[in-house]
Structure formats: C-alpha cells, structure tokens
Amino acid sequence: MARTYVRVQGNVQKVMFRQTLIRAMVKRGISGGASNNRQQKDLVDITMDGNADEVEALVEALRTTKPLNSWGAEVVTLAVLTSGLDVDAHQVRYTS
C-alpha cells in the first residue's frame, strides 16, 4: 500500500473537483481525501492510500485529463509532496 500526498492547482474549487476525485478513488479501490485551500482558491490538497499502480494511474489522470468533469474542473499543475494531512483530517474523504 502506498500513501501519496498531492497538491493540485487550477480550476479545482466550486466545480465538483473533490467529488469527481472521490468517485475516481472508489473506482480504483483507493482510500483518501481532499481539502480546499481556504487562502488560495485554486489549490486542493489530496491524500491517497492504495495500490501503488492505481494511485499512480490516478495521479497521471489528474495531470492529463482536461476537463475532469462537465463542470470544467481542470488541474493546471500537480505536485507530489513528502507530507500532508491524514485521510481523516480532510474535508471530503473516502475509506475503502
């Protein structure tokens, strides 16, 4: 099992991005969560726990799929971080 912390920037708040992300996690059997950054309205922090291949596939989909949903959610930049929030600390979360 791999734990991965990601910060995305782009059109990711008020466009159902976190809900779209959670659906993608469920589909891949990944537990995780996401939180909007309250100071910067174009940032979302993500924590994912799951099979390393599935997590990497989801990270790649976030990088390349444009738009991510019919609301126009789109990631412009994505950074993999060395630390972040525990899944239970996120505003929106899913545990498989």
DSSP state of 29: T
**Every domain of the chain and the residues it spans:** 2-87
Point out which residues pair with 76 in neighbouring strands.
Answer: none
CA 43 remoteness from chain centre: 11
Residue 96 has pLDDT above 90, yes or no: no
Q: Over the stretch 4-52, which tens digit does the pLDDT of each residue have?
A: 999 999 999 999 999 999 999 999 999 999 999 999 999 999 999 999 9
Q: What's the pLDDT at 17?
A: 98
CATH 3.30.70.100 is held by the domain 2-87: yes
The whole-model pTM stands at: 0.95
Annotation says 18 is catalytic:
yes
Residue 1 has pLDDT above 90, yes or no: no
Among candidate residues 3, 7, 11, 18, the one labeled active-site is 18
Annotation says 11 is catalytic:
no
Q: Over the stretch 39-90, which tens digit does the pLDDT of each residue have?
A: 999 999 999 999 999 999 999 999 999 999 999 999 999 999 999 999 999 9
Q: What contacts 42, CB < 8 A, 6 or more positions away?
A: 9, 10, 11, 12, 13, 76
Among candidate residues 3, 7, 28, 36, the one labeled active-site is 36
